[in-house]
Amino acid sequence: MSEEVIIARQTPNLTGTVKASGAKNSALKLLAAAILGHGPSVIRNVPLISDITVMSKVIERLGGTVTRDGHVLTVDTTNVDKWETPYELVSKMRASISVLGPLIGRFGRAHVAMPGGCQIGARKIDMHLVGLEQLGVEFQIDHGFLIATTPNGLHGGDVILEFPSVGATENTMMAAVTAKGSTTIENAACEPEIHDLALMLNEMGAQIEGAGTSVVHVHGVSLDDLKPCDHTTVGDRIEAGTFLAGGALLGGPLTVTGVNPAHLRMAILKLRAMGADVETGNDWVSVERTRPLRAVDIQTLPHPGFPTDLQAQFMLLCALAEGNSVITENVFENRFMFAAELSRMGADITIDDHHAVVRGVDKLSGAPVVSTDLRAGGALVLAGLAAEGETIVRKINHIDRGYEDYVGKLASIGARVERTVVDAI
Ligand code: EPZ
């Protein structure tokens, strides 16, 4: 048996310019939202990643068609006539649950396989269900499937989320678009990807205000009033933050384009606190570090707090900083597995429940490591660029889910990195 891996070798620096692709965590939902458009929507700046391939298959299984021309997808949902998603696709990618809201918005019903958990947590959807129930949706669970119906019609409601869940905000918002009357979502998630989704829905004819803030108002419109649209996906702030962490790690100067710096304010604040110089423009961020990394404390929180999706990348910076850092993971219950892999490379990290105490060390040494999730995988490759010797990163399918041409982009800014096939360990 053979296995594709990424080999990362000690690299003097990452310098130059690299462009962030469109945001994975927006594009996936934009494809789902196209279900409401009942025609061929054009979605631009879509990243070439495996999760998009899976979501495209979900749309096709519903009766739609997805054609790709580079980073431009045409999602034609004219003939979407099913409201069921198959388990084998949902089990591949949890984000398939994002079709729940649009299917309810279009058909008043849905039959969606329950998403499983993953390495970083249980990934429950109870808040999705509570939000949608406020709009008249009734749920049953049958053989691992979620059966959603609206026996008394889909109507507006006053929703308050107990946690600003990204997915729950998105599904509730997408169903509310065609509900009779108005909906308010309080304690909504404020991530930039929510704002991007609402932008596209409004381009289709929806009436959404406040998306990207904690109170979202949706005025229901008729399904017939929703038309296909042409939308450009927002830049991927997490991919950009991953490269910026790499620039801070090895020194730079490194510029990342295709991203709105306002979407990275907390990450930029922490890079500066760690001793890096950061400059920003309207669609780019540059980082350079000429002095030793300084320890910082980090709390992951819903946006605009520090993004959990950058926690592993910044733990790597802390691992090589002068002093001790405390990282608190408040969003997912099991997102410190990266620490165990990094410790095999010589990091000194102690985990206590949601807290990681990271004692800075002078250097890391290359080792065979395993990607436990998408962002940990990205961070392990960066660790291999800083470590002495060679690092072999396995289970890189996680990385391919969310980083377009990660090796090619890293190599273009100086990384000694390659994809290769080895005998499975
Ligand atoms: C989205 O996941 C992103 N994924 C995640 O990115 C990201 O980490 C997360 O938002 C937080 O920003 C996509 O957009 C595809 P949540 P989502 O609902 O929507 C709990 C990556 O690496 N919760 O905000 O699933 C949940 O278990 C991925 O790109 C409930 O308990 O996140 C988690 O602990 C990883 N019940 C927390 O809330 C619910 O009904 C945040 O979840 C919903 C969520």
pLDDT in tens, 216-260: 999 999 999 999 999 999 999 999 999 999 999 999 999 999 999
Q: Ligand 1 pocket, 116 CB below 6 A?
A: no
Find the range with the poorest average confidence among 117-126, 150-159, 333-342.
117-126
Q: Which atom of ligand 1 is the closest one to the Cα of 120?
A: 35
- Of 371, 378, 380, 404, the closest CA to residue 50 belongs to 404
Q: pTM value?
A: 0.98
- State the distance from the centre of ligand 1 to the C-alpha of 111, rounded, in angstroms: 21
Q: What is the pLDDT of residue 423?
A: 86
Task: Give SS3 for 176.
Answer: helix
Q: Ligand 1 pocket, 402 CB below 6 A?
A: yes
pLDDT at 117 over 90: no
Which one-letter DSSP state was computed for residue 389?
A: S
Establish how many alpha carbons lie within 13 A of residue 167's alpha carbon, considering only the half-sphere containing its beta carbon: 17
Q: Using one digit for the tens of pLDDT, what is the confidence trace for 67-108?
A: 999 999 999 999 999 999 888 888 788 889 999 999 999 999
Q: Ligand 1 pocket, 376 CB below 6 A?
A: no
Gap between the Cα atoms of 64 and 80, Å rounded: 5
Which one-letter DSSP state was computed for residue 293?
A: P
pLDDT at 118 over 90: no
Q: Ligand 1 pocket, 95 CB below 6 A?
A: yes
Q: What is the Cα 412 distance to its own chain's centre?
A: 23
Gap between the Cα atoms of 243 and 118, Å rounded: 25
- Of 273, 274, 277, 270, the closest CA to residue 255 belongs to 277
- State the distance from the centre of ligand 1 to the C-alpha of 256, rounded, in angstroms: 25
CA 148 to each of CA 51, 128, 218: distance values in angstroms, whole numbers, following the listed order = 24, 12, 21
- Whose C-alpha lies nearest to ligand 1, atom 27? 123
Q: Ligand 1 pocket, 242 CB below 6 A?
A: no
Gap between the Cα atoms of 386 and 144, Å rounded: 44
pLDDT at 116 over 80: no
- The mean predicted confidence, pLDDT, of the chain is 96
Q: Ligand 1 pocket, 125 CB below 6 A?
A: yes
**Does an H or E element contain 114, and which?**
none
pLDDT at 184 over 90: yes
Q: Which atom of ligand 1 is the closest one to the Cα of 25?
A: 14
- Whose C-alpha lies nearest to ligand 1, atom 16? 165
The answer to whether 190 is a known catalytic residue is: no
Q: What percent of the chain has pLDDT over 90?
A: 92
Per the listing, tokens 């907390």 go with 266
Q: Which atom of ligand 1 is the closest one to the Cα of 123?
A: 27
Residue 278 structure tokens: 């950061």
